[in-house]
Chain A
Amino acid sequence: MKTREAPVSVTNACKLCSPLGAVLAFKGIEGAVCILHGSQGCATYIRRYMISHYKEPLDVASSSFSEDAAVFGGAASLMQGLDNLIKQYRPAVIGIATTCLSETIGDDVGRILQDYVKNRGAAKLPALINVSTPAYKGTHADGFLAAAKSAVEALAEKSEKENTLNLFPGMVSPEDIRHLKELLADFGIEYTLFPDYSETMDAGQWGGYKLIPPGGTPVKSLKNTANAALTIEFGISAQNGDSPGKFLEEKFGVKNVNMPLPIGVKATDNFIEKLEEISGATVPDKYLFERGRLIDSYVDAHKYVFGVKAAVFGDEDMVAAMAVFLDEIGMVPSICASGAPAGKLEKYLRSAITDFDGKGITVLEDADFEIIEGAVEKTSPAVMIGSSKGYKISRKLDIPLIRCAFPVHDRIGGARIALAGYTGTQKIFDSIVNSLLEARQDASPVGFSYM
């Protein structure tokens, strides 16, 4: 259902551009820096946006196209850019993503890099990983996935089979990455989690500055992804598009399993069950307790959430998992919206939510915030769940907004958003219930302070 005839223009987009996603994926490689091949504005805008969400340093270089490079090609600019990056940073890896500009003029970055390696000598160079990310194709989520796949494609090397797990969680928060790593470690599983920007995009005070922030998936581990026993990928974007897991399965025969982001009891149970199966270990008590507390809180609060409508918007992976979780706790994800191209979200939600048609769920694909606003006005959800970009609607229609997805630039803690696992679910569950209670309390003529 669309609230007005599908417009060709986008008013207040619910998606960002693909090079941004690529930058984030490259930030998940240890010792990596990245460069965008195009106008310097792309690097500046993308840095500004990501920095205001993560509140961390983020160096992204640019090949700084001038008008003549735009006409004659950007090979020389890119090569000079790489030279300067290497000289300043001595990185282990350079991630190179294209932009609208270099793609429109048809620069063949693969070819430029071949020439560059031949010219400079491979032995002296860091690993170079390039990905094609024109913003006129797909969204930031696609750029993220494409860059992750490029990295695996460039680095994975067949050797001895190992009993390790590849976990490709998608665009989750640094906090969620840390939680997933803890989970894997607690099960005693040898793993490669990629991209791991849990430290690079959420670092502490180092007592000094570090040019390349520590952390990230080591190149050695990325090489080893070819030899793992299994890959788990989260999210419907990986399920439907090109993905690192699919690549490893096709090229190296590493079995690939796709799962939704583990938000909610059932989704986390599925993931934990899988970890139990892989590791042969029993579930550590810690997680049983977390699970117990979570369900206990579901019981405590079920009367406040039952049948309450929510509008969820943002990346497909988050929206898909969040909607299923809301359904699990008895809420109605009455609007599920994403700016991603149509075709995946509704299909998935129909398969994942029982009695989908009876629940009055509107899925908006390829949506912008104008379309979302129309739908929100019509269905009056009690809460909105997504990024800071929902604030205009939230303010206008006086609906509480829970900020739990990229980008959050009007609050702190974007890097510490927790959604994954029982503890992540616990936090988002508490936030949702409390925001409903707060709205009810604020609206009460009595002004009760005890419930």
Chain B
Amino acid sequence: MKKTAEIKPEDAAKELIEAYPVKVGRKRAKQIIINEVGLEEQVPEVMANVRTIPGIITMRGCSYAGCKGVVLGPTRDILQITHGPIGCGFYSWLTRRNQTRPAGMKDPNYMPYAMSTDMQEEQIIFGGEKKLKKAIEEAIDIFHPKAIGIFSTCPVGLIGDDVHAVARDMEEKHPGINIFGFSCEGYKGVSQSAGHHVANNKVFTDVVGLIDTPKQGKYKVNILGEYNIGGDAFEIERIFEKAGITLHSTFSGNSVYEEFASAHTADLNVVMCHRSINYLAEMMEKKYGIPWFKVNFVGAEATAKSLRKIAEYYGDKELKDNVEKVIEEELGEVEAARKDAASRCAGKTAMLFVGGSRAHHYQELFRELGMKTIAAGYEFAHRDDYEGRKVIPSIRVDADSRNIEELKVTQDPERYRDRLTEEDRKRLGDEFKFKNYEGMMPDMDKNTLVIDDLNHHEMEVLIEKYRPDIFCAGVKEKYVVQKYGIPLKQLHSYDYGGPYAGFKGAVNFYHDIDEMLSTKVWSLVKAPWDDSPQLTARYACE
């Protein structure tokens, strides 16, 4: 077996596409990039956010999944009704992925419920609006929610059901309830990314800005693009509280409707998952004057850096001191755990193919363990998530992206408020970098592989060629990778583990990765009577 350093990335890139028909190979070649970071973080162009080729086993989901599952899924008190046949609603029913913590027993939490109109053939032929209205009535009868979201599945758009008109009608009938629909039919766009955009737009037009009373507290910050996977939000909340920062609204981990509706009253938006929510950050800046910058709470160092940046934004000594105190207190435990795990993990290799931010963020944690990321890519990201926001003006808008509405946003005459004075701007300077995301590639080493929309076939080639020590993806990839004798860490749901964000999360992650890399389970694959050389090479000595 060759060592990673001896493998030429050019050879790997070639092998990845060898099995394809010529046309397919040509397309995929533009999505498989050998990384190189030049001056001013210039990186090679990667083709991203383009259609998946039919018949290729993709990791991607659909627009509905991105809208209902990802962005709105973690909110507990917006009652969600799937308009469509039963499958989609069932499959997006509460999973371990998102958690929530209602303040009291009486507080509404609809996450354990999956409501569906269970469309039948009759509705496909004659229309489903009547059934949808009835379902909304039933939902109101049972749950008395403040807000209802209607999520469209494939047939809805095709049969011409107007979920927005239904929402308006029902809202007229029930004026106390905010009812809104999402046109997130599965065939829209090329991945779940389209659904994120649809969700951002609707939440922006129909929810944000409705409640003008802010939360009490100092330093009011919104976190955008944090989905409380494995309890990550709880750890971030803990750290914020300890540092004296008021977490005003989270989109959307452990969130409630009122926080969305009053989010425009905060001082600052910080963005975790750039891909899924940068639209909302941009629109809130234009309409309400809330500045945003990118943060990352995955990785102890990254968490510290993000906290410092928030303190820097306010420029307040008390907050700065608090933040430094928190970092110092927390890093003690983190360092001890890190050192211990790194003594076994350092030098090992990882591959990460997940999400639209996670494949980038988690490299931080591996770096802290002294591990090397040798290949990474996103499922549904766009070029800016790879190459940085500086490439946005040069991104070609194709038919699939044009299908998702780009909202025209103007300043709100009453609610717009400049959060920064001239003095603030001068103090922070250009170095501070608002509305910037430098992307994943500038953070990766030269000659590492960057692959967009990795599919099963390519994953298999990669594993055969490099045999990384750990692979990070989702449950769909997990058992394939593990059949190769390589552990897989699920970064969509953490395999029931977590949290991995923040300081305590880092400790959990070090521990879990250490255990996975140290397990003796693979050594059992080779039976004592089996002398096949392939097995000996792969398993016996590991």
Residues of A within 8 A of B (CB): 7-13, 15-17, 19-20, 35, 38-49, 51-52, 55-70, 77-78, 80-85, 87-88, 99-101, 103-105, 134-137, 139, 203, 205-211, 370, 392, 410
Contact = CB atoms under 8 A, between A and B. Distances in A.
A8 B400 contact: no
B91 interface: yes
Interface residues of B, number: 86
Given A66-B51, A100-B153, A9 B190 contact: no
B119 interface: yes
Interface stretch (B59-67, B217-225, B316-324, B388-396): B59-67
Interface in B295-312: none
A149 B85 CA distance: 23
The 8 closest A-B pairs by CB, nearest first: A41-B62, A17-B87, A84-B55, A81-B55, A81-B54, A9-B135, A39-B186, A135-B85
A277 B60 CA distance: 52
B485 interface: yes
Interface centre among B55, B134, B185 (most CB of A within 10 A): B55
B89 A48 contact: no
A19 B87 contact: yes
A100 B153 CA distance: 9
B115 interface: yes
B414 interface: no
B406 to A, nearest CB: 16
Nearest to B195: A41
Contacts of B56: 61, 84, 88
Interface stretch (B17-25, B197-205, B417-425): B17-25
Interface of B: 19-21, 24, 51-65, 81, 84-93, 96, 112-121, 123-124, 131, 134-135, 138-139, 142, 153-155, 157-159, 185-192, 399-400, 403, 456-457, 460, 463, 474-476, 478-480, 483-485, 525-526, 532, 534-535, 538-539
Given A10-B89, A66-B400, A88-B457, A39 B62 contact: yes
Nearest to B87: A17
Q: Which of B63, B120, B191 is most buried by chain A, counting CB atoms within 10 A of its CB?
A: B120
Contact of B187 (A69, A103, A203): A69
Given A39-B154, A64-B54, A9 B134 contact: yes
A205 B483 contact: yes
19 contacts: A8-B118, A8-B131, A8-B134, A9-B131, A9-B139, A11-B113, A13-B116, A39-B185, A41-B88, A44-B61, A44-B62, A45-B91, A46-B91, A65-B186, A67-B399, A70-B158, A135-B86, A208-B483, A370-B142
Nearest to B535: A207
A67 B158 CA distance: 10
Contact of B91 (A7, A12, A49, A205): A49
Contact of B63 (A41, A49, A58, A135): A41
Contacts of B190: 66
A52 B477 CA distance: 11
Contacts of A103: 124
Given A40-B61, A64-B52, A87-B19, A9 B116 contact: yes
Contact of A104 (B120, B124, B526): B124
Contacts of B117: 8-10
Nearest to A99: B154
A111 to B, nearest CB: 18
B317 to A, nearest CB: 48
A192 to B, nearest CB: 28
A51 B475 contact: yes
A208 B87 CA distance: 34
Contact of A100 (B154, B456, B475): B154
B109 to A, nearest CB: 11
Given A48-B475, A59-B57, A66-B187, A9 B400 contact: no
Given A8-B117, A42-B186, A59-B456, A88 B19 contact: yes
A63 B55 contact: yes
Given A9-B115, A12-B112, A104-B154, 8 more contacts: A16-B86, A40-B58, A41-B186, A68-B399, A77-B54, A84-B54, A104-B158, A205-B483
**Of A15, A82, A207, which is in contact with the most chain B CB atoms at under 10 Å from its CB?**
A207
A211 B114 contact: no
Contacts of A9: 81, 115-118, 131, 134-135, 138-139
Given A66-B51, A83-B21, A83-B55, A104 B155 contact: yes
A17 B91 CA distance: 9
A250 B24 CA distance: 45
Which of A15, A56, A64, A103 has most chain B Cβ within 10 Å? A64
B185 to A, nearest CB: 8
Contacts of B58: 40, 44, 62, 64
A64 B158 contact: no
A12 B114 contact: yes
Contact of B90 (A13, A57, A208): A13
Nearest to B492: A48
A40 B116 contact: no
Contacts of A48: 91, 474-476
Contacts of A134: 85, 121, 124
A17 B124 contact: no
Contacts of B400: 66-67
Contact of A11 (B54, B142, B153): B142
Nearest to A5: B138
Given A9-B117, A42-B186, A52-B475, A61 B87 contact: no
